[in-house]
Amino acid sequence: MAPQHAWFEARNLIAQLLRREQAALQSLIVHVRGNPDVLAPYSKSLGIQTQTLSGWLDATAASRGVRLAGPVSPWQGRRDAAGIPTRIAEFGPLTYQNDDVLADRLGPDRVRKIKLLDPDSSRLLRVQDSGALYAYEIVNFVDGKRSVGEIRDAVAAEFGPIPLDVVADYLNACEEAKIIAFR
């Protein structure tokens, strides 16, 4: 992986971690019917820790020759990263035990062409045998707010870097199956 891409992936991991931890704090306060003002020092502490880690990453990237103004996603400006998928209907897992929504709606020939479900499309998917896990989580992040690139970043922070075109291809198959639509 190119150093600037590694820098982006590391910073993405930290940014996603901060979002997840702050959301967990918010959820906790709602669950216990607590005062949201109590969260301020904890949220601030998480922000400071994030800044510290990001500063360390930036210094490390610079020491390895990365000379960009900031970490930039390799797909910045790509059209396939900008689309915002929305759910058409509520679905659980698209593949569960003997039920496979994509196979039922698209047929086995089309499903075999989905990059995410083809272990030969990515070394990471082949080594981890995790295409179905990525697929499950990609659909979980479809909320009508996140773009394809943002969904890719969130999933990459959980399971490891994945090419944008693999995520976009999977979401396009979900659109063909009328599970999601792009706006």
pTM of the model: 0.75
* Cα gap 134→15, rounded to integer Å: 19
* Cα gap 139→173, rounded to integer Å: 12
pLDDT value, residue 122: 62
List the structure tokens of 150. 């943002």
* Cα gap 31→167, rounded to integer Å: 33
Distances (CA, A) of 74 to 94, 101, 149: 29, 32, 10
pLDDT value, residue 96: 53
Tens digit of pLDDT per residue, the chain (183 long)? 777 788 888 889 999 999 888 888 888 888 888 888 888 888 889 889 999 998 998 888 888 888 767 777 878 888 899 999 998 876 655 655 445 788 888 888 888 888 887 766 666 555 555 777 888 899 889 999 999 999 999 999 998 889 999 999 999 999 998 889 998
Parse the chain into domains and list their residue ranges: 3-63, 82-182
User: Residues 14, 77: contact at Cβ < 8 Å?
Assistant: no
pLDDT value, residue 98: 47
